[in-house]
Amino acid sequence: MKQVLTELNTEVGVKGSILLTEDGLVMAAEISGTLDHETVAANASSTLMATKKALRSVGIEGFSRFICNSRFGKMVFVETGDMYLVVVLDKSINLDYTMMTVSAAARRIKSMG
Amino acid sequence: MGLFDSASDKKKKELAALRKAVEASPSPAGFVSVVEKYAAAGDLIAAADTARQAMKQFPTAEKVQQAYQNVRRIELQGQIQDLTRAITEGRAGAGEFDRLAVIYSQELGNKTKAYEIAREGLAKYKKAAGLHLLCGEIRADRYAEDHLANDWIEARNHLEKAVELSPATTMARLHLAQLFVMVGLTAEAKPIVDKLAAEAPSETVEALARQIAAAPAAGPVDVETRLAELQKAKAPGSAGGAPGTAGAVDKNVLEAYLGRMEKIDGFKAAAIVAADGQVLLVKSVKPELSAAFGQLVHAIYLACEESSHRMDIGSFVSGEIDTPRGTIEVAEGGHLVLGILAGEPAKTAQLRKATEEFAAISRPA
């Protein structure tokens, strides 16, 4: 799985990727030098948990994809079975193209079980 | 030969006519289309020229920014490759980091990438005044756009370091003075501007001096308190208007907007909330979902906003969540936050367009 993250990080605009369990625990992480590993992991986890909790409040169980756009960067969550692939992206990317790569990585992780 | 010339001329004429048509009725998509066609035809000069024109008219349109960056990247490919190779092979000095960061910042308009390169350079060359200056400029630009205290503090730290390392550099001192003035710290800016006026007078320095002279006299200011106040004042839901209202935005306009959203096939719920969680307007096909949906929108906004700040990627702009019940679009619009839930047959593009419309109507004039 780490290999999938490493390969994903070579894509243009990808700054780091993490695998989180449904409970927000970090299973694997590959973060580039300029980002703080612990900060990214902690915030990806808290965003995942808060979003799932909020959805549950209206009777929605989980989500398959969440794209969060901020002014100077993006964070993407993709469900991979019993885990979530979280990818931190540069602001200036072709999102449609990058999402194809992210989805392919998520499918590879899912197939690993 | 003649045949090729005439085909090429015909293509050129077609593209010129297309460009004229876009200039007569300008839109980001129209300009991007012309830029791409020129680039595909190999006319990079015309592509770059059109892209520059588009950037002047639509500087904040993401697709225009991307098209401009793509064209310039092709033009600057050689330089970028040489500098990147020098960095990855570990033989780059501070100057190489500085040149590559400046290309990204000034030529390609990609300040995020420029900042990363400059930070990478600073990790190796801590005393590179030019890299500190560039980081300071970029963080100051971010502060002007997003009003987050952390950007201001980072900008000040980098600019002060640039001044310390290279006291004669006018630009670093000027930016530092502008940064102080931006948040009303005129007492801190004044000695810097006075010195600049004596050593390197310019129209910019004179304008800054006039701005300081016109500012009301103020007692000592606690910087952190001031920054926190300004950050809060720019937060959605808090800039104008009494609690429970839509702030500076006409509530009738928002109601009409939600009315239009209700007509989207597959519409399930929509809510407009303030930053403090107050649900201002809500529409739902299931009345029992109304209150809970407003709270859901606020919870998602809050989670994203806090994470974005802590991860140093600016304020939350928008979010898109694919759920078993449909897609939820959440968008921040100046003072307010919108959330829409819609299932099949609503299209994601339709919802994205709806959030763009919200961002446009909810920004104060």
Q: What pLDDT, on a 0 to 100 scale, did the predictor assign at position B9?
A: 80
Across A2-6, B44-48, B103-107, B154-158, the highest mean pLDDT is recorded for: B154-158
Chain B residue closest to A62 (CA)?
B323
Give every CB contact of residue B8 below 8 A, 6+ residues apart in sequence.
Answer: none
Q: What digits encode the pLDDT tens for the residues B275-292?
A: 888 899 999 988 878 889
- B131 vs B275 pLDDT, higher one: B131
pLDDT at B244 over 50: no
Between residues B243 and B346, which one has the greater pLDDT?
A: B346
Task: Give the separation between CA B326 and CA B74, rounded to whole angstroms.
Answer: 40
Give pLDDT, residue B239.
Answer: 40
Residue B51 clears pLDDT 60, i.e. is over it? yes
CB pairs under 8 A between A and B: 121
**Which pLDDT does position A17 carry in this prediction?**
94
Residues in chain B: 365
What integer best gives the mean pLDDT of chain A? 90
Answer whether A6 touches B (CB < 8 Å). Answer: no
ipTM value, please give it: 0.95
Position A66 pLDDT exceeds 50 = yes
Does the pLDDT of residue B1 top 90, yes or no?
no
Is-contact B299 A57, C-beta < 8 A? yes
What is the rounded distance in angstroms from the CA atom of residue B108 to the CA atom of residue B76?
Answer: 9
Q: From the CA of B35, how many Å to the nearest CA of chain A?
A: 16
A69 in contact with B, Cβ within 8 Å: yes
**A67–chain B Cβ distance below 8 A for any pair:** yes
Between B360 and B123, residue with greater pLDDT: B123
pLDDT for res B54 = 92
Give per-residue pLDDT as tens, B181-191: 999 899 999 99
Q: Which residues of B touch A55 (CB under 8 A)?
A: 296, 321, 323
Say yes or no to pLDDT of B235 above 80.
Answer: no
Q: Are A92 and B66 a contacting pair at CB < 8 A? A: yes
Q: What is the mean pLDDT of residues B36-52?
A: 90
B142–A70: do the CB atoms touch at under 8 Å? no
Average pLDDT on B281-310 reads 90
Write the CB contacts of B60 (distance below 8 Å, at least 6 apart in sequence): none
Q: List residues of chain B with CB under 8 Å from any CB of chain A.
A: 65-66, 69, 110, 112-113, 116, 119-120, 123, 142, 145-146, 289, 292-293, 295-296, 299-300, 302-304, 306-308, 310-325
**B242 pLDDT exceeds 60?**
no
Give the rounded distance of the alpha carbon of B132 from its chain centre.
Answer: 21
Query: Does A94 score more than 50 pLDDT?
Result: yes
pLDDT at residue number B34: 93
Q: Which pLDDT does position A11 carry in this prediction?
A: 86
Contact B119 A34 (CB under 8 A): yes
pLDDT at B131 over 70: yes
The shortest C-alpha distance from A112 to chain B (Å) reads 23
Do A72 and B314 form a contact (C-beta atoms < 8 A)? yes
By the CB < 8 Å criterion, does A103 face chain B? no
Average pLDDT over residues B37-56: 90
Residue tagged 């969440």 (tokens): A66
| Cβ neighbour number for residue B291 with a 10 Å cutoff | 14
- Residue B295 and residue B273: Cα distance in Å, rounded? 8
Average pLDDT of chain B?
88
The shortest CB-CB distance from B289 to any of A34, A58, A67 is to A58
Find chain B residues with C-beta within 8 A of A73's C-beta.
Answer: 112, 308, 311, 313-314
Cα gap B43→B36, rounded to integer Å:
10
Contacts of B318 in chain A (CB under 8 A): 69
Distance in Å from the first CA to the final CA of chain A: 10
| pLDDT value of position B110 | 85
A5-27 pLDDT, tens digit each: 999 988 888 999 999 998 889 99
pLDDT band of B245, cuts 50, 70, 90: very low
CA distance B349 to chain A (A): 12
Contact A88 B311 (CB under 8 A): yes
Binary contact (B319, A69; C-beta < 8 A): yes
Chain B closest-CA separation from residue A2 CA (Å): 22
Q: Which residue has the tokens 């894509």?
A: A11
In chain B, the percentage of residues whose pLDDT exceeds 90 is 58
Distance CA B17, CA B312 (A): 45
**CA atoms of B19 and B35, how far apart (whole Å):** 9
Q: How far apart are CA B122 and CA B94, in angstroms?
A: 8
Task: Decide which of A32 and B282 is more confident.
Answer: B282
Q: Does A3 touch chain B (CB under 8 A)?
A: no
CB-CB neighbors (< 8 A) of A42 in chain B: 310
CA B331 to chain centre: 15
Q: Provide the shortest C-alpha distance from residue A69 to chain B (in Å).
A: 5
Tell me which residue in A44, A68, A73 faces B319 most closely, judged by beta carbons: A68
3-state secondary structure of A61: coil
pLDDT of residue B120: 93
**Rounded CA gap, B311 and B350, in Å?**
30
* Chain B: closest CA distance from residue A45 (Å): 10
Please judge whether B307 and A43 are an interchain contact, meaning their C-beta atoms are less than 8 angstroms apart: yes
pLDDT of B40 over the 80 cut: yes
pLDDT of residue B290: 81
